[in-house]
Amino acid sequence: MNGLTIVILAAGEGKRMHSRQPKVLHPLCGRPLIAYPLRAARTVADRVVLVVPPNAEGVRRVVGADVAVVEQRERLGTGHAVLEARSACGAGPILVLPGDVPLLAAATLERLVNHHLATGAAATVLTATVDRPQGYGRVLRQGGRVKRIVEDRDATDDQKKIQEINTSVYCFDARRLWPALAEVRPDNDQGEYYLTDVVGILARAGARIEAVAVPEAVEALGVNDRKQLAAVAAIQRGRILDRLMEAGVTILDPATTHIEDTVSIGADTVVYPHVVIEGDSAIGSDCVIGSGCQLHASRLADRVTLKPYCVLSEAVVEEGATLGPFCHLRPASHVGARAKIGNFVELKKSRIGRGAKVPHLSYVGDATVGADVNVGAGAITCNYDGVAKHETKIEDGAFIGTNASLVAPLTIGAGAYVGAGSTITKDVPPGALAVSRGQQIVKEGWAARRARRRATPSD
């Protein structure tokens, strides 16, 4: 866009987060905080430069190769941070963006740049009018024109009453920016080089200073502490749910539904209250996600039904399958088309075949279960011997009786039957019946004899 460079400032300490993790890496609806300004910048700019503190390997890892990363070795203020980025900037306009303002829309940035170019301004400031301006720099005007920006901590009592705030987003003419930055001095309460002082320097030199207001004040919300992070996350979640509903997803209770920015959901899927969907999850069309379900990095095909309180993590569920209520799919679980996983069933690193049923109260781990298999209530695969995990293979059409224990490594052949209550330690051939349990003994009249013995006094 007209040779535009966007410089994102992300070298702040973030002291108010009280965290060992850099502020811009704190998660916001499934993405690190820095990902949001980066996404907007990539949409608008020809070149993106990110200013980071020393030892910011974590930030570098999430940025991507298309972003130039510049290190600010000394934290001497925002003006100093922009100067550090100079060698990575182009000759075109320069837009400066804070790394902790995630709600800014790319369209707002485009409008700011277009206004800046159309007016031939030396600097254009993005402003917002808010009811509670405390903590933000105030925009000082004279005759309606922007003359200066004063930081909150340096403002007088009268200046603090001004409700038009600086969003810390600016577009500069590069030819005017660098000489003005060279004039900035750390004559303030912080002893820092403020980028905001450039506006006053340019205005005093007779340069044109323009201002563009954000369409919604929430776009200007920054994140300085965890309370603000939570407030911004609530707004972002609302945007995510609005986007999904506009695309044909039914969200029955948006107030209790948490869906991250990384999630995709197909049309005509219904999401019930108290659902949490996180990570790189993809849900198909015509699905039903019951109340209390939690999904992380899982994939559901079309027409899948999750009854209430299912928990899925890194799992795959194929078309038309039904799960729950109260089932748990641990990582690397794969449920086939039209299969049924019932209440209080746990799967771990197992593949359940097409049309198979694990209806209730079972554990299936490190197993391959074929098509149309039936696993009875309470049946389990004994996959761990205390040292290593072992695999169980149950071939197509097999029937596993109630409370059977299958001790891996083991293969149950196609169409074979395992009797209820059996502990199976050897392979079962196809079509065979395997029963392994103690012989039943019946002693008629035993209860009456026992009662008589208890009633007879002992010597």
Q: What is the pLDDT of residues 114-142, one digit of tens each?
A: 999 999 999 999 999 999 898 889 999 99
| Residue 459 confidence (pLDDT) above 70 | no
Q: What pLDDT does 429 receive? A: 97
Q: Structure pTM? A: 0.91
Euclidean distance between CA atoms 183 and 369, whole angstroms: 73
Whether 5-220 shares its CATH topology with 249-434 is answered no
Domain spans of the chain? Answer: 5-220, 249-434
Q: Residues 335, 323: contact at Cβ < 8 Å?
A: yes
Q: In what order do the strands lie in the sheet with 410-412?
A: 264-265, 282-283, 299-300, 316-317, 334-335, 351-352, 367-369, 392-394, 410-412
54-68, 82-96, 401-415, range with the lowest pLDDT: 54-68
Q: Which of 80, 258, 334, 360 is catalytic?
A: 360
Q: Residues 394, 377: contact at Cβ < 8 Å?
A: no
How would you write 239-282 as a 3-class SS string? HHHHHHHHCCCEECCHHHCEECCCCEECCCCEECCCCEEECCCE
Query: Which phi and psi angles does 308 have, rounded to 5°?
Result: -55, 145
Beta-carbon contacts of 17 under 8 Å, excluding residues fewer than 6 positions away, are 23, 26, 224, 225, 226, 229
CATH architecture assigned to 249-434? 3 Solenoid (2.160)
pLDDT category, 64, cuts 50, 70, 90? confident
Q: What pLDDT does 36 receive? A: 97
| Residue 452 confidence (pLDDT) above 80 | yes
Count of Cβ atoms closer than 10 Å to residue 145 Cβ: 11
Q: How far is CA 122 from CA 5, 105, 202, 401, in A?
A: 15, 23, 7, 80
**Catalytic site includes residue 360:** yes
CATH topology of domain 5-220: Spore Coat Polysaccharide Biosynthesis Protein SpsA; Chain A (3.90.550)
